[in-house]
Amino acid sequence: MPTNRTHDPARRSWVESANVAECDFSLQNLPFGVFSTEDEGPRCGVALGDRIVDLAVLEKASLVRAGGAAAGAAVFDRAELNGFMALGPSAWGSVRAELSDLFDANNDRLRNNASLRDRALVPMDGATMHLPFFVRSYTDFYASREHATNVGTMFRGADKALPPNWLHVPIGYNGRASTVVVSGTEVTRPRGQSLEVGAERPAFGPSTRLDIELELGAVVGTGTALGQTVTVAEADEMIFGYVLLNDWSARDIQKWEYQPLGPFQGKAFATTVSPWVVTREALAPFRVAAPDRVEPLLPYLHEPGPNNFDIHLEVDIAPRGGAPTTVSRSNAKHLYYSSAQQLAHHASSGCAMCTGDLLGSGTISGPDKGSYGSLLELTWGGKEPLALPGGETRTFLEDGDTAVLRGWSQGEGFRVGFGRCTGTIAAAR
């Protein structure tokens, strides 16, 4: 349900490309990112249709005013969103409302100022996108019951698929912030230690079971002090927005190393995120309830309202020089634990949460094979290869393959989308 005027499905923009129903970047979306052009370095922007709104230009012209700007500090003429995110929900909502009004079809304040308008609207195809925020820390969860059940069935058998704690606690591990990269960054095939089937001793070499993971990443906007805990409702308010996230996985390395402490080198080599952060407020009309609980959750994980989102998700695989094939269609509503629950649990020990922390949902899989979010599941451990155009098949990724994640929530005549989250596999060094 719409919660304020920025959600009005009837609103249209004078930037005509934003009014196409299938355009990810509608006036109802206004996602934040960081971009550069040939003549100017990285600064903050907002996607609108096929244009990037240069927030640094609008800030200098006093057309957007984030909290703290009265002190003279530039919030948007920076190479990351952290300064803006740290200002909190009031500032986020204020800037979103100002932008929604400024680009409304009935507002000619900027539209009729040709000089300022041309400087403030940058063609998207002429810009370079950057990692939108400084990743302070990265944590990856395991929040899809379908995914956990599938993987557990393959590794431990159907009768022991879910660990005994899974239905009670959001399981996660601390990943590597240093290897989080923006969409379009090449991913080098990792080397590592693994144990081949039938071998008595491990060997070291390039991974032969390189996989994708279809995930949603929550971006923490405001943090907590060491020792502080938060409710699920408070955790939800701390989340600035969401990105598509591909937590590339070397399944052969992971399988050998993960017991007893969990993933390490099998995950540490790369995590790709989409360049646009879709705000929590933009997704508000698409909130849905979590799946039914199998076991009652402890009180600190109780949700006062729906915290999942109806976000349609797709994965394409394209071989070098070949056409893409959609191999998975899923939805973020399948997550058993919401991002707000994940964040509340993360802080429940008193762990300090920081502006720029990134929380991966874990692989999002649906109830049927076509909605599984990893090649491990889609090919059932490599036993059932996927067919690609031209007679090619895949069990896991080969050098030159490109994986593309897409996601969007569809409104009445408008879309709130993330754009593309892509990566191409380069040979091991």
Q: In terms of domains, do 395 and 262 share one?
A: yes
For the chain, what is the domain count?
A: 2
Backbone angles phi, psi at 136, to 5 degrees: -70, -50
Cα distance between residue 26 and residue 100, in whole Å? 10
- Chosen domain end from 81, 113, 130: 130
Q: Are residues 323 and 419 in the same domain?
A: yes
**Are 305 and 191 in a shared domain?**
yes
- Please give the average per-residue pLDDT across 317-333, as a whole number: 96
Of the candidates 66, 96, 130, which is a domain's last residue? 130
Judged against a pLDDT cut of 50, whether residue 69 lies above it is answered with no
Residue 147 annotated in active site: yes
Structural domain that includes position 126? 5-130
Check pLDDT > 60 for residue 2.
Answer: no
Minimum mean pLDDT range among 17-21, 25-29, 220-224, 260-264:
260-264
* Token reading at 153: 């069935």
**Strands of the 402-410 sheet, one edge to the other:** 187-188, 415-426, 402-410, 312-318, 325-331
Q: Which helix (H) or strand (E) holds 224?
A: none
d(CA 279, CA 276): 9
- 97 and 237: one domain? no
> Do residues 122 and 165 both lie within one domain?
no
| pLDDT at residue 72, rounded to an integer | 59
- Catalytic one among 7, 147, 334, 346? 147
- The answer on 145 and 120 residing in a single domain is no
> Do residue 107 and residue 142 come from a single domain?
no
Looking at the predicted structure, is the pLDDT value of residue 272 above 50? yes
> For the segment 138-185, what is each residue's pLDDT rounded down to a tens digit?
999 999 999 999 999 998 899 999 999 999 999 999 999 999 999 999
User: What's the pLDDT band for 223 if we cut at 50, 70, 90?
Assistant: very high
Answer yes or no: is pLDDT of 17 > 70.
Answer: yes
The secondary structure of 15-70 as a DSSP string is SGGGGSTT-SB-TTT--EEEEEETTEEEEEEEEETTEEEEHHHHHHTTSS--TTGG
Residue 329 has pLDDT above 60, yes or no: yes
Residue count (the chain): 429
What is the torsional sign of CA 248, 254, 258, 261? negative
Cα radius of gyration (the chain): 22
- Least confident span in 73-77, 108-112, 206-210: 73-77
Nearest to 236 by CA among 362, 364, 309, 338: 338
What CATH number should be reported for the domain holding residue 106? 2.30.30.230
Same domain, 113 and 153: no
Q: How far is CA 38 from CA 35, 41, 122, 127, 213, in A?
A: 11, 8, 11, 8, 33
Which two tokens mark 45?
A: 């922007």
Query: Cα(138)–Cα(217) distance, rounded to whole angstroms?
Result: 10
Q: Are residues 274 and 394 in the same domain?
A: yes
The CATH number of the domain holding residue 157 is 3.90.850.10
**pLDDT of 411 above 80:** yes
Same domain, 232 and 364: yes
Flag whether pLDDT at 68 surpasses 80. Answer: no
Based on the fold, state whether residues 96 and 240 are members of the same structural domain: no
Domain finish residue from 130, 148, 179: 130
Q: Determine how many CB atoms are found less than 10 A away from the CB of residue 103.
A: 26
**Whether 36 and 166 share a structural domain:** no
